[in-house]
Amino acid sequence: MITVPVDLGSRSYDVLVGAGVRHALSSVLPEGVSMVALVTQDAVAVDVDPGVDSRRFVLPSGEQAKTLANVETLCRGFASAGLARSDAVVAVGGGVVTDVAGFAAATYLRGIPYVNVPTTLLAQVDAAVGGKTGVNLPEGKNLVGAFWQPAAVLCDTEALAGLPAREWASGRGEMAKYAFLEERPGGGVPGEELLRLPLDEQVARCVAIKAGVVAGDEREGGRRMLLNYGHTLAHALEALAFEPGGGPDLRHGEAVAIGLVFAAELARRLGRIDAARVDLHRQVVGAFDLPTSMPAGCSAPELLTLMGRDKKARHDLTFVLDGPDGVQPVRGVPADEVLATLIAMGARER
């Protein structure tokens, strides 16, 4: 077992990584918990034993479960079950479950403890760590939520057995992002060392990178924005699914992979990096066996509108972009440069 601390003062907690760590659940529950609300989905075939009285709540499947209506349903269920402020929520599932259950925990009785037991690679390396919870609106992804740190996170790599190929790809998209965030001068091709590690160590390495960023900027006032590298376009591509007629069939990590390449192309257009650096992004993304091309049929103006609603934006277009000093947030990016980059990558002009 590998323990990765998330150092946030009084809100500090540990992330445990390894085969079978879900069985440590009872030992990480806060003192005084006498009832647990287990939040999961039908497709999640992972059982946990909190060691105390529990009630099971099942969210609908898919990204469509991330709604305010489902948060209300959970909170009403918690109230009917008699869940008290001294009790806890345990989220067992992927990023959808940890996002929704965490937001419900943050708002029920103005905040009760919760523990994440992530069961997908994406959730283990990213979504379940850091305390960002939330749900979607028709206008975009994760536009309503709260910063609410878990009491613990149990990344049981046994739970990844049998994970569908595209779910592995979704997690690898975040891993490709971390490859660039931990890049060191003269350190070789980003991600090469990470891909050679055993699975437990891959997960722990990504968690440690995120924990270090979160510890220095818990509420995304500055450096934590770096964790959104590749995500501005990714969230716009995912938001297309909420538009009439739906959008491209992409898992989150697949969208992030395309977003990383887009961010590199945009940075080159703005004169921040050269073509060789863009090629390196394509090489790294490809090494994680992820897509590098824009899905067919996407409208550049529509994507631009969706990117303007990104949480990083302050009435402008804000992107996390590579540059001479590494990856940084860049504000006030001209809309015409964004459109030109999208079109160059294959998006429609209208």
DSSP reduced 3-state for 145: strand
Q: Is 281 a catalytic residue?
A: no
Is residue 66 part of the annotated active site? The answer reads no
- H helices of 217-331, in order, are 231-239, 252-269, 275-287, 300-307
Catalytic pick among 220, 254, 265, 302: 220
Structural domains in the chain plus CATH codes: 2-160 (3.40.50.1970), 165-344 (1.20.1090.10)
Q: Provide the whole-model pTM.
A: 0.94
What is the rounded CA–CA span in Å between residue 300 and residue 267? Answer: 17
User: Band of the pLDDT at 229, cuts 50, 70, 90?
Assistant: very high
Q: How many CA atoms within 13 Å lie on the side-chain side of 285?
A: 27
Question: What's the CA gap between 158 and 117, in Å, rounded?
Answer: 12
Confidence of residue 311 (pLDDT cuts 50, 70, 90): low
270-307 pLDDT per residue, tens: 999 999 999 999 999 999 999 999 999 999 999 999 99
**Active-site entry in 63, 142, 228, 238:** 228
Does residue 228 carry a catalytic annotation?
Answer: yes
- For residue 222, what pLDDT is reported? 86
pLDDT at 171 over 80: yes
**pLDDT tens across 56-115, in order?**
999 999 999 999 999 999 999 999 999 999 999 999 999 999 999 999 999 999 999 999
pLDDT (0 to 100) of residue 141: 87
Share of the chain above pLDDT 70, in %: 99
pLDDT of residue 79: 98
**pLDDT band of 312, cuts 50, 70, 90:** low
- The single residue of 22, 63, 66, 132 carrying the catalytic annotation is 132
d(CA 212, CA 114): 21
- Of all residues in the chain, the percent with pLDDT exceeding 90 is 89
Separation between Cα atoms, residue 277 and residue 261, nearest integer Å? 10
pLDDT at 313 exceeding the cut of 90 = no
How distant, in Å, are the alpha carbons of 92, 106, 158 from that of 27? 16, 22, 19
Give me the catalytic one of 172, 210, 251, 281: 210
Active site includes 177? no
Active-site annotation holder among 174, 238, 254, 302: 174
